[in-house]
């Protein structure tokens, strides 16, 4: 029993900083949705959203923010984009 407990503890320690798969998929889906919603125009409002998205991606890639904060930032950006008049 003790050996099994040690193995489980070891696995849990190894996976401590690994992002959950569903969170990763959700984040990727949100990123792709936002990217496709942003038109290829230079409208000032759209440029602001593009810059915010680029900033979020940069912070996440540089490990300045965790995946949960990145996901939350994408949520906010998606809400803002959905509220923009077309």
pLDDT tens string 32-60: 999 988 877 667 788 889 999 999 999 99
Percentage of the chain modeled with pLDDT above 70: 84
pTM score > 0.75 for this model? Answer: no
**Residue 56: which of 22, 31, 20 has the closest Cα?**
31
Q: For residue 19, what pLDDT band results from cuts at 50, 70 and 90?
A: low
Cα-flanking dihedrals φ and ψ of residue 63, to 5°?
60, 30
Please state, in angstroms and rounded to a whole number, the distance separating the CA atoms of residues 24 and 38: 21
Helix, strand, coil % in the chain, rounded to nearest 5 = 75, 0, 25
Confidence of residue 2 (pLDDT cuts 50, 70, 90): confident
């Amino acid at each position: 029993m003790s050996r099994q407990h040690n193995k489980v503890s070891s696995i849990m320690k190894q996976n401590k900083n690994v992002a959950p798969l569903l969170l990763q998929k959700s984040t990727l889906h949100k990123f792709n949705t936002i990217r496709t919603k942003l038109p290829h125009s230079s409208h000032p409002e759209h440029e602001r959203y593009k810059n915010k998205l680029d900033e979020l991606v940069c912070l996440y890639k540089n490990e300045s923010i965790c995946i949960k904060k990145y996901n939350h930032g994408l949520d906010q950006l998606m809400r803002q984009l959905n509220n923009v008049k077309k």
